């Protein structure tokens, strides 16, 4: 049969407390469902990363957020790979014992999963991560030594690495209210915004796949932890999912290059995102090109960027299950509206004909 393959994009912004995707890999079930009704799904680490838990999906492209925006703008294309050589970038602020824990994860990924983690480097200065929270509740952060981060990344790339896993030492504050709320499945991930800053910087500078795993001391046992946050309670590090994702993450190439079998910016057919968070640059680029945007109401967040306020045309859907059904209908060549009850009458462009027909 002839027909175009369906390429979907799933975006769940990080650090804004999304009801689905705001916790430890809790958007993975959604990604699996969307991937099952798409020929190809493009999404980002916040959706796929679940600390010690992950789920490899052969038709999913794992694309860092800044790279996803450049792809949406038409600047970059995605080059699928069989395997990436991953470099491990460790913050000099990580204590020796905690560093060894992360080293053991990388070595276990080689021995047990067959991943190619080919080099490691420690930054020449502590990165100095600081966590922040906006009045809206969204989280963000800063690093004191971006120069040290970039020098370490450059060393890995010169050593032949093709993707970079960053482990930065994040502040420990087990008594913080924000952290306690997050562990109980409420509020906003206090680390997510700062993590995005780190990966964005490397991808912007070097145009290579990158993802981040924070280094933290284990938290005290709490039997009441929310299932949505529990993946981050299962081990000493959050690194396993990052290595799994980066191992086959597509590489970023200029859209002007001629590359066989690449994923071109114009390949995207539909985008799924929370209804209150459709103001990101990637979604605005796709909307401007007339790509259908499925805005899902049930995925609430701390933001309140309504499509109508931004002038962004969207398909308003209540649930993710409805979005999966919409995609299944679209892939089958149906107008998704045909699956809902009600009459749909033909509309004439010529108003006089329309009036005569109605009369």
36, containing H or E segment: helix 28-36
Residue 221 — pLDDT band, cuts 50, 70, 90? confident
| Rounded Cα distance, 99 and 89, in Å | 11
Identify the pLDDT of residue 10.
98
pLDDT in tens, 170-204: 888 755 777 787 778 777 777 777 888 999 999 99
* C-alpha pair distances (Å), 287 with each of 116, 263, 271: 38, 19, 9
Closest CA to 31 of 163, 23, 40, 161: 40
Q: Where are the alpha helices (H) located in 207-291, listed in sequence order?
A: 239-247, 281-288
Residue 103 has pLDDT above 70, yes or no: yes
Closest CA to 91 of 198, 200, 208: 198
Residue tagged 């991937």 (tokens): 35
Residue 352 has pLDDT above 70, yes or no: no
Total-model pTM: 0.92
Q: CATH 3.40.50.2000 region(s) of the chain? A: 1-79+249-338
Rounded (5°) CA angle 34-38-334:
105
Residue 109 has pLDDT above 60, yes or no: yes
Higher pLDDT, 216 or 219: 216
For domain 81-243, the CATH class is: alpha beta
> CB neighbours of 338 closer than 8 A, spacing ≥ 6?
329, 344
Residue range 1-79+249-338, CATH number: 3.40.50.2000
Mean pLDDT of the chain: 91
* C-alpha pair distances (Å), 283 with each of 164, 227, 228: 26, 30, 26
- Residue 244 DSSP one-character state: H
Identify the pLDDT of residue 160.
98
**Tokens for 336?**
């998704």
Give the number of C-alpha atoms closer than 13 A to the C-alpha of residue 39, restricted to the C-beta side. Answer: 12
Residue 165 — pLDDT band, cuts 50, 70, 90? very high
Residue 145 — pLDDT band, cuts 50, 70, 90? very high
By CB atoms closer than 10 A (0-12, 13-18, 19+), residue 95 is exposed
Q: Where are the alpha helices (H) located in 166-216, listed in sequence order?
A: 177-183, 192-206
Helices 146-158 & 192-206 angle (0-180, nearest 10)? 50
Identify the pLDDT of residue 184.
82
CB 118 within 8 A of CB 85: yes
| Rounded Cα distance, 14 and 35, in Å | 20
Residue 354 — pLDDT band, cuts 50, 70, 90? low
By CB atoms closer than 10 A (0-12, 13-18, 19+), residue 332 is exposed
Other beta carbons within 10 angstroms of residue 259's beta carbon come to: 15
| Rounded Cα distance, 201 and 197, in Å | 6
Residue 353 — pLDDT band, cuts 50, 70, 90? low
Residue 356 has pLDDT above 60, yes or no: no
Residue tagged 């933290």 (tokens): 216
| Rounded Cα distance, 335 and 251, in Å | 34
- Residue 224 DSSP one-character state: T
Phi-psi region of 342 (alpha: psi -120 to 50; beta: other; left: phi over 0): left
Residue 357 has pLDDT above 80, yes or no: no
Q: Are strands 129-133 and 139-143 parallel, antiparallel or unpaired?
A: antiparallel
Q: What is the mean pLDDT of residues 95-113?
A: 96
CB 30 within 8 A of CB 48: no
pLDDT in tens, 242-285: 999 999 999 999 999 999 889 999 999 999 999 999 989 999 99
Strands (DSSP E) found in 245-290: 251-254, 270-274
Residue 154 — pLDDT band, cuts 50, 70, 90? very high
Give the number of C-alpha atoms closer than 13 A to the C-alpha of residue 171, restricted to the C-beta side. Answer: 15
Longest alpha-carbon distance in the chain: 83
Identify the pLDDT of residue 228.
83
pLDDT in tens, 26-78: 999 999 999 999 999 999 999 999 999 999 899 999 999 999 999 999 999 99
Residue 235 — pLDDT band, cuts 50, 70, 90? confident
**Tokens for 185?**
């499945």
Residue tagged 């990924």 (tokens): 109
């Amino acid at each position: 049969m002839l027909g175009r393959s369906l390429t979907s994009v799933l975006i769940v912004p990080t650090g804004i407390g999304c009801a689905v995707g705001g916790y430890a890999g809790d958007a993975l079930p959604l990604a699996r469902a969307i991937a099952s009704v798409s020929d190809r799904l493009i999404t980002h680490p916040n959706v796929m990363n679940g600390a010690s838990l992950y789920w490899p999906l052969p038709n999913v492209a794992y694309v860092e957020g800044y790279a996803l925006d450049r792809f949406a703008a038409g600047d970059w294309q995605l080059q699928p790979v069989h395997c990436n050589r991953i470099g491990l970038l460790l913050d000099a602020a990580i204590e020796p014992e905690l560093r060894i824990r992360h080293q053991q994860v990388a070595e276990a990924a080689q021995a047990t999963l067959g991943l190619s983690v080919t080099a490691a480097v420690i930054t020449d200065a502590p990165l100095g991560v600081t966590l922040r929270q906006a009045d809206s509740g969204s989280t963000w952060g800063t690093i004191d030594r971006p120069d040290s981060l970039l020098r370490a990344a450059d060393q890995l790339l010169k050593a032949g690495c093709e993707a970079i896993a960053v482990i930065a030492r994040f502040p420990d504050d087990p008594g913080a209210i924000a952290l306690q709320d997050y562990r109980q499945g409420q509020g906003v991930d206090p680390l997510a915004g700062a993590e995005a800053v780190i990966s964005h910087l490397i991808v912007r500078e070097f145009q290579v796949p990158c993802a981040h795993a924070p280094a933290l001391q284990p938290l005290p046992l709490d039997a009441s932890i929310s299932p949505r946050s529990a993946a981050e309670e299962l081990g000493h590090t959050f690194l396993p999912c990052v290595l799994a994702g980066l191992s086959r993450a597509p590489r970023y190439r200029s859209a002007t290059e001629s590359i066989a079998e690449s994923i071109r910016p114009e390949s995207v057919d539909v985008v799924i995102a929370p209804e209150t968070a459709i103001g990101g640059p990637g979604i605005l680029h796709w909307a401007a090109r007339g790509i259908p945007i499925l805005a899902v109401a049930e995925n609430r967040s701390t933001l309140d960027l309504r499509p109508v306020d931004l002038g962004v045309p969207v398909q308003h859907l209540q649930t993710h299950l409805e979005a999966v059904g919409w995609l299944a209908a679209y892939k089958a060549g149906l107008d998704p509206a045909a699956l809902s009850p009600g009459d749909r009458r033909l509309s004439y462009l010529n108003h006089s004909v329309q009036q005569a027909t109605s009369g």
